[in-house]
Structure 1
Amino acid sequence: MTPSEIYSKVLKYAGYVSIIICDLHSACSPHKKKQYLCTLAGSKTPVIDFDEVKTNADRTRGLESRKSVDALAVTPSGNFLCFIELKSWELLISNKASEYRIRKQATKYSSDLPLKLSDSMCICKEITHDGDVFDDCKIIYILLTDISVEDDGIMAFNSDLTALAGISSDLRELCNTLSRGVMDCIDIVETRYWECRNLDRNLSML
């Protein structure tokens, strides 16, 4: 199936209209009585709340709760199906983060994120009743964060050495370095690590 066909079938299964990724981010979702961080309107890209899809699928099949990504989307070009996971480094950093806590969280991501992808792909196969549904489908697994991910190799190297000082800029660079490392270890699909504010722009270029 094409990315658009898979997205449409999952959306039909979900039984509701699509939302935007900002509504799934506890730090800025109006559903959590917060305001969007980037713009008044938030992202323009429609996504499916895949956690809810997973919950319904597990309940229907009588399964214990599986892992799942946060959202499913298709690029404006229709060329890629996107599995999206949203992680807030900003909340951790603002809550007295340390190098130890950041590394511990990244270690958790390294075990959780591959499983979230594989379980989510399995759920899509169940919904479409097609074990080969991804044969002709290009997939990208996107990890979104709410901190800047501008790449600076020197800063990234320095942050790994000086994060213990507790400087927020160093901690952010450490978060980025570790997050990229986690995504680079996932080799069954293409991966990206993006700032959430740039989601629409980055998807438009695929």
Structure 2
Amino acid sequence: MKEVKQFFIRHFITAPISFGSWLFFVMGAGMNIFAATGLLVAIYFGGTFTLKQIQLSSNLKKLGMSRSEYSHIKGQITGAKMKIKRLNGLYGQVRSIQAFRQLHEMNSLSRRILGLVRSNPKKFYDVEKFFYAHLDSAVELTSKYALLVNQPLKDKELRIALQNTRETLGDVNKQLEQDLRSVLASDIDQLQMEIDFVDVSMNNKKPLLEMKGDPHNDRK
């Protein structure tokens, strides 16, 4: 959401400046229309690029991150989006209700984790294993399960392999749940601190409020 807002801000600022400059070049300076249009394009794209870098620097300062850190995390987010997309494409290939439910839960958990990290890139460090291992395991195991379940052979060995894969997918699902708890942990701690602060503030004010509202004190 923040990236979209900043995108519109950049273009909202750059567009009138660029077209205003174009009108000045053509009508005020008598410049050739093609040359003026070339300058318009240069000013527009140069201005948006400059503003984007300013916004990025401001964001990184607030996050306390370097450009290389931010670039690495953005790359991991992009890779995770592709993996989740691949996971989405497996819905039509699983046959059992249990496998479908597991796939849906893994998909939902992965999207929630990714959304939280996108909104606050520093949370990446709370769930590095999700990006480096757990999401990969979910995709690879589900892909192999889908491959096996669609084979015409239904012998004992294949059934055992499918059962083992479903059980392992259940373990992966639990790990993704733990990843979600990890990425939410700092928010929960902060919320608890705010609740505790409000409780302490209210308790400190309560005796004063009781004194002001005490009718016996008013009669004296």
Q: TM-score, normalized by length of structure 1?
A: 0.23
Structure 1 or 2: more helix by fraction: 2
- Greater relative CO (CA pairs within 8 A, separation 6+): 1
Q: TM-score, normalised by structure 2?
A: 0.22
> Which structure: larger Rg?
2
Task: Point out the structure with the larger strand share.
Answer: 1
